A and B are shown apart, each in its own frame.
Chain A
């Protein structure tokens, strides 16, 4: 799993590249645990190159969602592959998290 970042004054974009499993998800958890994450209005997760996610990867997002919401930081996923979106659907997370098709829609929220 490789994570690259771009920041604006109001948003932080994390570009996920690879597979999020019980081995690799700690890298993402480290990024989302940083206190400066709460300085942004939006955390955008670009999933275009996210090829796989297991419960460990989902658990990272689940564990940070309330903390972000409490700080009025929106967590928004976009460019998600169908097979990855399907894993969110199986647990009903697609209705608890904001997932949009494109970057333009993510930015517009």
Chain B
């Protein structure tokens, strides 16, 4: 059964999104680690969209849909920011370098890419969709 949630672009809503994903997946008997990983991947994408793409403008919103079918989780996150993420710009982080430079950010998409089986970003005008897919055991 597919479910949707729409939130305004505020960091306060990250918890709302995590609780939504947790509640939806609660009936599918995922391991605690798998459940936490999927919640984390969603949280990272949503945080990037709220903070970087939409500048924490609470008049803007994004819509998240989640569906569990055939032992796989599919999530889509839609927004209408004029700034869209380009996966081609992704570079694997060097954690020693991050520590040496004292970098605070730049590891969220690495987490998403390592957790999920597929990560897609598509843009049509100002309509952006991120699709996350993960098979679960």
Contact = CB atoms under 8 A, between A and B. Distances in A.
A63 B102 CA distance: 4
B99 A65 contact: yes
B95 A56 contact: no
A83 B32 CA distance: 7
Given A54-B43, A91-B107, A86 B36 contact: yes
B96 interface: yes
Main SS at interface, chain B: helix
Interface residues of B, number: 33
A22 B11 contact: yes
A66 B32 contact: no
Nearest to B36: A83
B95 A93 contact: yes
B51 interface: yes
Contact of B100 (A58, A66, A93): A66
Most buried by B among A19, A62, A90: A62
A82 interface: yes
A87 interface: yes
Interface in B93-137: 93, 95-96, 98-105, 107-108, 110-111, 114-115
Given A21-B47, A59-B105, A62-B99, A82 B12 contact: no
Contacts of A67: 102
A62 B102 contact: yes
Interface of A: 19, 21-23, 29, 52, 54-56, 58-60, 62-67, 82-83, 86-87, 90-93, 96
